[in-house]
Amino acid sequence: MMRPDSGDGHFHHSFNMRFLVVLCLSLPAALAFDCQGAHDGAYEVGCKSFITCVNGVGTITECAQDQVYNSRTGQCAPVADVGPPCGSQKDCKNVADGKYADVDNQCTSYYTCSGGTYFGHNYCSGSLVFNEHLQTCDWAAHTPPPCGTFTGTTTRS
């Protein structure tokens, strides 16, 4: 169950599988972000969370189930009020579990499907694109089309 917080629009989640999956997807990106030397402000971790840096210290905020991070405002907002890719949800019904490149966003982001449920978008760093074959962000030169330019053979480990 979810219950509203003290009027700030964020929700506390009881422990459930969906929350655990979202946390597992966003936590590595949040841990990789270092607020030391960063300007004070909000930084996107993924569509469902952001980190707020103040004096070199970061605080992670998870958006409520029906909200995503709005990079223009630095806050969580209803999905309908946010542009793509975070404001667009992908249909994961009848799709195998895994991560999929968002070709509408030039493959600079990817979304995750599990059990027919959409679990949001995540961004690749810098100039990387999502390599569906390897299930990770990679250089375009190492990624097959449509996201990259690699045309050789690959082996999946």
Q: Model-level pTM?
A: 0.59
Local confidence pLDDT in tens for the 157 residues of the chain: 444 444 444 444 433 444 444 444 444 444 457 899 889 999 888 888 999 999 999 999 999 988 999 988 989 999 889 988 888 888 899 999 999 999 988 999 999 999 998 888 888 988 999 999 999 999 999 999 999 999 887 665 5
The CATH number that applies at residue 118 is 2.170.140
Contact 130, 107 (CB under 8 A): yes
Q: Which two tokens stand for residue 105?
A: 């966003």
Among residues 59, 81, 103, which one ends one of the domains?
81
Range of the structural domain that residue 123 is part of: 88-149
What DSSP element (H or E) covers 54? strand 49-54
Is residue 28 domain-resident?
no
Q: Going by DSSP bridges, is the β-strand pair 49-54/57-62 parallel, antiparallel, or unpaired? A: antiparallel
Report pLDDT for 29.
45
Give strand pairing partners of 118: 113
Domain final position from 65, 81, 97 = 81
Among 81, 109, 141, the domain-final residue is 81
Given a contact cutoff of 8 angstroms between Cβ atoms, the answer to whether 79 and 87 are in contact is yes
Q: What is the number of domains present in the chain?
A: 2
The reply to whether 93 and 145 lie within a common domain is: yes
